[in-house]
Amino acid sequence: MASRNELSKFLASVERRAYKQALFAVRDAENALDIVQDAMLKLAEKYGAKPVEELPMLFQRILQNTIRDFYRRQKVRSLWVTLFSALTPGREEDDGDPLETLESADASKTGLGPPDRLEQAQVIEVIEKELQRLPPRQRQAFLLRYWEELDVAETAVIMGCSQGSVKTHCSRAAHALAAALRAKGVEL
């Protein structure tokens, strides 16, 4: 059974990665934050009493389902927005960067100098842009396998597909990312 402290530590440890996953999936910062918050609340409310070892799998499944629910709601909303778009003028959205509000890792602990940190940040930015260009299922499989470090079976359960499909999606994503990065002169 997870204690409140253990649950809090778990949620704090997955917060940034979950945000990035949601951001890659929905491509909107505010919606990504809402999705992560909803997933965390669902985990705490419904599965907070589960053993700590089960929390990562449960959270990933909840996060992926919350992303799917977002797309379902968007489909219904877009129908109504299309019908009434002539009646409401467009409005400007504030594009604030939510990462500015998150605590960053202490750069002194990495042992990298400023030029190395700059290069690392630039490479990460290129990788993130290329991840956004991947098809949704490839991006989901890649992030779950290599970012969340889940095994093939766990990823298949979360994605609701076979282990072979996970391997195929991951392979295609890795090849596409490698080719795109090589084209941009990035060698890892």
How far apart CA 35 and CA 19 sit, in angstroms, is 8
Residue for token pair 């996970």? 166
Looking at the chain, the whole-number percentage of residues with pLDDT higher than 70 is 80
Give span(s): CATH 1.10.1740, the chain. Answer: 1-84
Please count the residues of the chain.
188
Phi, then psi, of 161 in degrees rounded to 5 = -140, 180
**Cβ neighbours for 82, distance < 8 A, ≥ 6 positions apart:** none
Pick the CATH number of 1-84 from 2.30.30, 1.10.1740, 1.20.1060, 1.10.40: 1.10.1740
89 CB neighbour count, 10 Å cutoff: 6
17 pLDDT higher than 50: yes
The pLDDT of residue 40: 95
Cα distances (angstroms) measured from residue 67 to each of 24, 89, 103, 111 = 11, 28, 24, 36
- What is the amino acid identity at position 75? K
Q: Which of 64, 67, 60, 61 is nearest to 148 (CA)?
A: 60
Give span(s): CATH 1.10.10.10, the chain. Answer: 114-188
The pLDDT of residue 115: 83
Q: Mean pLDDT across the stretch 17-21? A: 93
Yes or no: say if 21 and 63 are a contact pair by the CB < 8 Å rule.
Answer: yes
Residue-wise pLDDT for 91-108, tens only, equals 444 444 444 444 444 445
More confident site: 78 or 34: 34
Phi-psi region of 181 (alpha: psi -120 to 50; beta: other; left: phi over 0): alpha
9 pLDDT higher than 80: yes
How far apart CA 36 and CA 55 sit, in angstroms, is 15
Residue-wise pLDDT for 134-182, tens only, equals 999 999 999 888 888 889 999 999 999 999 999 999 999 989 988 888 8
The pLDDT of residue 110: 55
88 pLDDT higher than 60: no
The whole-model pTM stands at: 0.57
CATH architecture of 114-188: Orthogonal Bundle (1.10)
The pLDDT of residue 65: 92
**Confidence bin at 82 (pLDDT 50/70/90):** low
